[in-house]
Amino acid sequence: MTTAVPPTAAVPTADGALGKIEARSIDYVPLSERTGRLSDQATIWFGGSAHILSLATGAIGIALGLNLVWTLIALVIGTVLGTAPVAAHATQGPHLGLPQMVQSRPQFGRYGALFIWAMAIAVYWGYVVLGENLLGATGNQLGWGGAVPWTIIVGVVSIVLAIFGYHWLHAAQRWVTLALVVALVVYVGGLVVGGHIPASTMSLGSSFSIAPFLVVVSASAAYQLSWAFFVSDYSRYLPPDTDKRKIMRFTALGLFFGVFSFEAVGAVCAALLPSESITAGLAGTGDYVFDGFGDILLVIGALGLLGLMAMCVYGGSLTLITALDSLRPVRPTRTIRVVTILLVGITGTIAAAYVPTDFLNTDFYTVLAVLAYLMAPWTAVNLVDFFVVRRGQYSIREIFNADGIYGLWNWRGITAYCVAFVAMVPFMYLSFYQGPVAKALDGVDLAFFVGIPVGAVLYALLCRGTDLDAERAVIAEADRDLDEIAAPVE
């Protein structure tokens, strides 16, 4: 058996502006370059989730007939449920020094993971389309020009940020987080002190219904879980001995408070101005605090979303390179980074210019539900493999070896994923399909909560026959000189 070198292939250096562009993509980050900051895990995810797109998830409960307080309670529960697995994924980045999606090879195989990567690319690309479309519409709402030109402008900015890469994205989200925190404090304080939130919207004794309540729980959990595909992309430059509990804590803090803050704002906007769109509602309720503050909120919320668009283009590029490398080994260079970023970013921007501006008000929940159905089995299999089965013991070089120990197909991961997904079908509730159990429960969608435990338990059972001792012997030999042959980036 031979071991592969591509994860540590030499990376060309450059001077000037080109030299500031991140060189690494799916290749291993050696210890000498692990200079990431733990606090950045909080700011990149706060800035990447506290934005105007998150308003739509918060507004779902109000639209379904819940009052404000029950909507907020459901959002808290769902966001906590979604945050836990995503924060757990963040520990994988420092431990392996690899982006998130390439880590699916041990569970599904080199070819078996292609479906997972295709699904992840679709999620990244979809968020680019939705986010840039909303940003274009927001620019138009602010009176700065047409929606299409602004869609193109934000598309170009997100592509540039993604090209410069990891450290630039972290730096941008630090500043965005600071602006968001200040704006949110002023917004909430202004509404409360000004008495703009009616007492009736905060009554626990009315407007409760189990079906819409669980819809909001499921939708907010699904929305949060959608970050699982790329969370360790932004922790892989941390030292491998970084305390796992601290990584999870910082990531969870950023994710929970970032997502929940703007989901809660979306619920407030829908409760106070139910006839307005989500962005018009934000502008209108912001002006309750003081005249013109609504536009300030729109701009700051848009900056957070712009950062997320760059992160999605960046993550889409990494996943696309991973998929290409599975079909035919590729050398991870700056050039392939830039080419794949341009492919994801340009096509997403073009599509964003043609998406109807009312998409978030009509089909957003359906998109969230489908994301939950597709991702729930994957996150279960991936986390069980990392924490329970292999307990973090992987070979970096074998992950990139076409003839390596992880193989082309892993029937255990594929079987667990497929069975978990099938088990979810009777519990699904969508506009175009309603499962029999969901119908019997008056529209309560429990599919998300079925897929994760079924996938996790089944995968753990199927892996009981895996020869981990033999695998660990190969790992010790294959990776013994990993950092010595890892090419530095200067």
**CA-CA distances (angstroms) from residue 15 to 28, 190, 284, 342, 433?**
23, 49, 48, 22, 55
**What is the C-alpha to C-alpha distance for residues 78 and 326, in angstroms, rounded to an integer?**
35
Stronger pLDDT, 205 or 401, i.e. the higher one: 401
Q: Tell me the pLDDT of the chain averaged across its residues.
A: 89
8-state DSSP, 386:
I
**What is the C-alpha to C-alpha distance for residues 174 and 148, in angstroms, rounded to an integer?**
28
The answer, yes or no, to whether residue 467 has pLDDT greater than 90, is no
Is 174 part of any domain? yes
Please list, in sequence order, all residues whose beta carbon lies within 8 angstroms of the beta carbon of residue 212, skipping any fewer than 6 positions away.
61, 64, 65, 66
Q: To which H or E segment does residue 364 belong? A: helix 364-384
The domain in which residue 63 lies consists of 38-376
Beta carbons within 10 angstroms of residue 81's beta carbon: 19
Is 458 part of any domain? no
Confidence class for position 489, pLDDT limits 50, 70, 90: very low
The full length of the chain comes to 490
Please list, in sequence order, all residues whose beta carbon lies within 8 angstroms of the beta carbon of residue 182, skipping any fewer than 6 positions away.
none
Is 137 part of any domain? yes
Look at residue 2 in the predicted model and tell me its pLDDT. Answer: 46
Is 116 part of any domain? yes
Structure tokens of 258?
């970032």
Output the domain CATH number for residue 365.
1.10.4160.10
Mean local confidence (pLDDT), 131-150: 92
Is 447 part of any domain? no
The answer, yes or no, to whether residue 68 has pLDDT greater than 50, is yes
Mean local confidence (pLDDT), 426-443: 87
Mean local confidence (pLDDT), 89-99: 92
Q: What pLDDT, in 10s, does the model give residues 299-327?
A: 999 999 999 999 999 999 999 999 999 98
Q: What pLDDT, in 10s, does the model give residues 187-216?
A: 999 999 999 998 888 888 877 888 889 889
Three-class DSSP category at 76: helix
Residues 319, 121 contacting (CB under 8 angstroms):
yes
Beta carbons within 10 angstroms of residue 170's beta carbon: 20
The structural domain count of the chain equals 1
Is 169 part of any domain? yes
Is 308 part of any domain? yes
Q: Which amino acid is at 266?
A: G
Q: Percentage of residues in the chain with pLDDT exceeding 90? A: 60
DSSP characters for 314-331?
Answer: HHHHHHHHHHHHHHS---
Q: What pLDDT, in 10s, does the model give residues 337-396?
A: 999 999 999 999 999 998 776 665 556 667 767 777 888 899 999 999 999 999 989 999
Q: What pLDDT, in 10s, does the model give residues 95-105?
A: 999 998 899 99
Is 473 part of any domain? no
The answer, yes or no, to whether residue 226 has pLDDT greater than 70, is yes
Beta carbons within 10 angstroms of residue 113's beta carbon: 28
Residues 287, 298 contacting (CB under 8 angstroms):
no
Q: What pLDDT, in 10s, does the model give residues 10-65?
A: 445 555 556 688 988 989 999 888 888 899 999 999 999 999 989 989 999 999 89
